Structure 1
């Protein structure tokens, strides 16, 4: 009697993993701007593009809705989610706290070899900034922070942080471009590496928190908000409390 189990198992694996693959591909289209913020996501077009049925696309979009990247409007369809300035500002505030936790954990876990890899990333970021290669800079920035996140070694922290970063992606790109981030961000990352290399959790945590506060202030500047100075209030008050 022939054994059909391997074939059945393969078919199950393919059917169960396809929506996940589609989720990753659609997310990539959103993150690169090929599916712009506010645009309608066409299931049929995506199914044709990826040579699959609409079922896996629909499942992928449900997962992306849970991840906060798309929204489903009744009788209208699925759209790439637009985040208001106010919501982005709240997310930045949360990121400040999370980055401080990451810095504290990484300062006691980072190896000398990993420090050198971070320094190499910073130099590559500096080069990308000089030639105004925004896409390359953004990728290196993501790689830098992913390295810190992996080193922090907390699954729950990783899940929370990555969701926030994905929601902020388009805002951060605009802040880098028109908020002056390319000119100063590499220097901020260099300071982060120095703080981590010191092995001082408090110093590393504060360096990362300052970096996010700076990014938040650049977002205010890019969007022409008069309250740009509020981005540093938390850091300033934190610093003041530590120096008294």
Structure 2
């Protein structure tokens, strides 16, 4: 009986609570991650999710209030993201979300395509049954999301699929280079999947990669992996063009209204005309005086 009393004592209950794995996970996280690291991860997530737009200025005060931290960790995090190529520092103006030029985006995407194809090829030469199972599970999950048409849900699973390919390929140097490209191209990659209509195409290309890897066919895997990234470049360009066309269409009615107003003012006598007439009269009066 004493043993039972000990088990049910408040002190023992508190001990059990402290010994829960979730508590230790949180503690370990805080031990290994500085505040700036946490803020950096959150800002990177916001960039990926489209909460920040290219060329947009990072409002340090607003972020400070939103995240409940001082501006120091935010500046440190932004400096780290600048080193990664996601943010641009403009002297005397602040931090801005970096916007890649068309040429920069094309160069990075083509380089990423070559490396991803290479990693898919290497994986086909050494893949295990367990690794195939992981990739198939991710394909199945993306199929479920495709049926729902939820781009914001599909994107992180898509990222995980590519991350698994890179990790399973087993070359840390290639993986590191690949991840550096991934960070810089986040906005373009998200834009490529911005329409629910293309999600099934994206996952069909994923399936072709896994089929080639499972068949242990390195050449087929190389071609499938590289083609998937190159096709994504085309999808991103089409999405950008569609976005620009939509923006122009929205601006057109405003321009039409301004033009109509200008024509009405011209027909009735514009304020500018009314302003010049008194000046002319005053000029005439001064001459007669």
The CA deviation at 1:87 is 1.7
Distance 2:67 2:238 in 1: 39
The CA deviation at 1:175 is 2.1
The CA deviation at 1:117 is 2.0
Within 5 Å, give how 1:1-244 maps onto structure 2: 17-178=34-195, 181-224=198-241
User: Once the two structures are superposed, what CA deviation does each residue of 1:150-176 show, in whole Å capped at 9, x if it has no partner?
Assistant: 112222222221121122222222222
1:19/1:59 contact within 8 Å kept: yes
Q: How many residues align?
A: 214
2:54/2:99 contact within 8 Å kept: yes
Q: CA 1:194 to 1:41, structure 2 compared with 1: closer, same or farther past 3 Å?
A: same
Query: Secondary structure of 2:46's match?
Result: helix
Distance 1:176 1:209 in 2: 17
User: Once the two structures are superposed, what CA deviation does each residue of 1:164-217 show, in whole Å capped at 9, x if it has no partner?
Assistant: 112222222222234953231111111100100011222211210111121122
Larger radius of gyration: 2
What is the RMSD computed on CA atoms of the aligned residues? 2.4
The CA deviation at 1:16 is 7.7
Distance 1:212 1:15 in 2: 34
Q: CA 1:206 to 1:79, structure 2 compared with 1: closer, same or farther past 3 Å?
A: same
* TM-score normalised by L of structure 2: 0.68
The answer to which structure has the higher helix fraction is 2
1:115/1:193 contact within 8 Å kept: yes
Distance 1:133 1:118 in 2: 20
Distance 1:59 1:223 in 2: 31
Flag structure 2 segments of 5+ consecutive residues without an equivalent: 1-29, 243-289
* TM-score normalised by L of structure 1: 0.79
Flag structure 1 segments of 5+ consecutive residues without an equivalent: 1-12, 226-244
Distance 1:92 1:74 in 2: 29
Query: Secondary structure of 1:40's match?
Result: coil
Query: Secondary structure of 2:69's match?
Result: coil
Q: CA 1:218 to 1:15, structure 2 compared with 1: closer, same or farther past 3 Å?
A: closer
User: Once the two structures are superposed, what CA deviation does each residue of 1:112-139 show, in whole Å capped at 9, x if it has no partner?
Assistant: 1221221121122122223211011111
